[in-house]
Amino acid sequence: MHKRLSLFVLCLLGGLSAAADSKSPVDYVDPFIGTTNFSVCHPGAVRPHAMMSVVPFNVMGSDLNRYDKDGRWWSAPYEFTNRYFTGFAHVTLSGVGCPEMGTLLVMPTSGPLSVDHRNYGSAYQDELATPGYYANYLTKHNIRCEVTATDRTSIERFTFKKGEAHLLMNIGDGLTNETGGYIRRVSSTEIEGSRLCGTFCYNAQAVFPLYFVMRVSKVPREAGFWKKQPLMTGVEGQWDADNGKYKLYKNYGRELAGNEVGYYFTYNVDEAEQIEVQVAVSFVSVDNARRNLAHEQQGCDFEKVRQEARRAWEKTLGVVSVEGGTEAQRKIFYTALYHTQIHPGILQDVNGEYPKMQSADNGTTQGNRYTVFSLWDTYRNLHQLETLLYPERQTDMVRSMIDMYKEWGWMPKWELFGRETWTMEGDPAIPVIADTYLKGLRDFDIETAYAAFHKSATIPGDSNLMRPDIDEYIQKGYVPMGTYVQDNSGDNSVSHALEYYVADHALANLAEALSKKQDAKLFRQRSLGYKHYYSKDYGTLRPRHTDGSWLSPFNPEDGADFSNAPGFHEGSAWNYTFCVPHDIMGLARLMGGKRAFVDKLQMVFDKGLYDPANEPDIAYPYLFNYFKGEEWRTQEQVYRLLHKYYKATPYGIPGNDDCGTMSAWALFSMMGIYPDCPGSPWYSVTAPTFDKVTLHLDKRYYPDGDIVITAQRPTPDAHLIAQMSLGGKPLSRYRISHQELTKSKTLHFLLK
């Protein structure tokens, strides 16, 4: 029987329970939350915002495909309900919608040597995961596996039964869509090489090499390469025996390259003997990977690295303290915080070198150069969380984005290890950096950032990589169908335009703050172009043709199954109609006033048209707060959604976590505040989950210190607000500014 146990559960079973307030936040994190239900999180070992992660790989079974147990395509190296383990992947992504990375697979085996994962793959049990550490037991091989990590390296410890044992480095398989790798034997205990990765979301331009060094702690009895022979047709004789087979090269030489290659170490081991493996990576060179290993691991000490990883997470998660709530709610909360602190991750090596954006050259940084910017997702709430709780990191992230512009002339959209993947739409760097600046973080080159924003918001489409359909957007105030793609079934024209409206509103706010009044007026006017899409016949946004005529036939519920309805990306008209957070009152006037707006928005929830697992409607529950007397609906919906979709189980995230975006929604909502309009320094409030939440703010950025959010509730399920106070003074508004929150220091709720 397979056992999946978080560290918290093991403590309970061992009789080691303690008072809730005596536990470290790390003890509440369950990395198995979000590892199924298409949330595509993983339970592997990783440090906060690190380059390296070591993750169990179980989504490639004996059929050679990357699917879960129900035959669904999977974009993470691990799926909770799967059972077939084929190694530990190094450098993976968490909560992304396209398969990528998840390669450099290290696998321990026993018995006769096999280098075909269809043969050496194993069932497993006794899984254990806590931040920075993962372990399991391979039942086929009787091997205990444990892994942990530093920022750029890993160390893995394997405990064997007596007999013949092997360590395999498979660089041919993985999640990435690319093929090709290289391995060089350095010594009897060390190999080095590279693996080509990329083509994220099927963009063939976004490719890059991943370099590695691997060391083993014991000299093997023998070692060698393997290579899978290419499939050949129309051949006879000696090729027949080799066609498509894995061939071993024991005495081959020092290096081998190909699409399906690997390296094996073979041992005679004693009972309970342990062998350790160290892997270091770099996106610059093999030499840098070796430097990373020398700097981050002096010697080979698994327990030392494991404890350092735990301390790193204790520091990161310790910025928030909660009191009250249930055990499950604390697990949900701190696991969500954990998920938000995985991406973006560092790109530079210990010597500061990193691959420049869209370039064959390398740069050098004195600080942190970040990568994995899933900005269409994260601009809505994750970067606001970083600004509030981790301002130093957010400042470095903004600097990284500005440096990308300096290196190749554009801000990132969905950047991955120095390559632009062009995934999703919009101009999402604008609301991220504008929001950061308007909330008071200023230690970056805002004038250069503004020049980048002005460029993408104004230059013609033929030259505009960020907004290729900008010409008609400027001329007509909207993007007509067929502007970017000719096939209506793949047309995302309304989605494109809505993203531009949000970006232009944020740009107008930034221009105003920088005393660029004419620009502010221009971009604010453009941000209101969403009105061109409003159809009175349906009461929703509706695609239009270039001559101004409406798309017909039209059904606003088309796309509710997460398909691409004409004009909309990953959703229906209802998922997008209220996606104008910068002008809610203007939208309400189009709809016929407050009552019509509120009734229509409530209908979206009542009819199940709200999608909790995707970004366009993620702020919908908070929009009731704009209308006096209707704020209780926000409190009701947030309470309902948290209880329905966020659970302390592997199914506990409503869908793709999108690099922490869904987790950030839960975090803010459980704290009682939410940034419902990116690029605007305000929060919408709701009833918090806990009796007390303390935000331990960085005094270098917020000199007034901690924020304490408290709730007095007569019953455990009380979730409607009766009274509020901010800084000890009565509060009747349901939206407060960032400055008010950080300076007032206390936000108190009396619930009913």
**What is the rounded CA–CA span in Å between residue 2 and residue 382?**
35
Task: List the Cα angle 506/453/377 in 5-degree steps.
Answer: 60
What does each C-alpha distance from 244 to 105, 233, 257, 750 come to in angstroms? 20, 11, 17, 69
What local confidence, expressed as pLDDT, does residue 40 receive?
93
Taking each helix axis from N to C end, the angle separating 391-408 and 429-438, rounded to the nearest 10 degrees, works out to 140
What type of residue sits at position 380?
R
Class of domain 319-751: alpha beta
What does each C-alpha distance from 399 to 50, 349, 363, 509 come to in angstroms? 17, 17, 14, 20
What local confidence, expressed as pLDDT, does residue 74 receive?
65
pLDDT in tens, 475-514: 999 999 988 776 665 799 999 999 999 999 999 999 999 9
pLDDT in tens, 656-709: 999 999 999 999 999 999 999 999 999 999 999 999 999 999 999 999 999 999
Candidate from 5-9, 693-697, 725-729 with smallest mean pLDDT: 5-9
**What is the rounded CA–CA span in Å between residue 671 and residue 448?**
35
Q: How many helices (H) and strands (E) does the chain have?
A: 21, 36
**240 pLDDT exceeds 60?**
no
**What is the rounded CA–CA span in Å between residue 469 and residue 462?**
9
**What are the residue boundaries of the structural domains of the chain, listed by start?**
39-315, 319-751
**287 pLDDT exceeds 60?**
yes
Exposed, middle or buried: residue 546 (CB in 10 Å: 0-12, 13-18, 19+)?
A: middle
CATH number 2.70.98.10 given to 39-315: yes
Give the three-state DSSP class for 715: coil
Sequence-distant (≥ 6) Cβ neighbours of residue 82 within 8 angstroms: 58, 59, 61, 68, 69
**361 pLDDT exceeds 50?**
yes
What confidence tier does 14 reach under pLDDT thresholds 50, 70, 90?
Answer: very low
pLDDT in tens, 144-201: 999 999 999 999 999 999 999 999 999 999 999 899 999 999 999 999 999 999 999 8
Instruction: Tell me what percent of the residues of the chain surpass a pLDDT of 90.
Output: 87
- Residue 24 in tokens: 């470290």
pLDDT in tens, 174-190: 999 899 999 999 999 99
Handedness of CA 441, 410, 99, 642 (dihedral sign): positive
**522 pLDDT exceeds 60?**
yes
Closest CA to 506 of 637, 681, 655, 370: 681
Q: What is the biggest distance separating any 2 CA atoms in the chain, rounded to whole angstroms?
A: 89
Q: Which helix (H) or strand (E) holds 692?
A: strand 692-695
What local confidence, expressed as pLDDT, does residue 65 receive?
47
Contact 165, 269 (CB under 8 A): yes
Give the three-state DSSP class for 694: strand
Q: What is the pTM of this model?
A: 0.95
What local confidence, expressed as pLDDT, does residue 76 receive?
85
Q: Reduced to 3 DSSP states, what percent helix, strand and coil does the chain have, rounded to the nearest 5?
A: 30, 25, 45
Average pLDDT over residues 27-37: 96
What confidence tier does 275 reach under pLDDT thresholds 50, 70, 90?
Answer: very high
Contact 177, 198 (CB under 8 A): yes
**203 pLDDT exceeds 70?**
yes
What local confidence, expressed as pLDDT, does residue 247 receive?
87
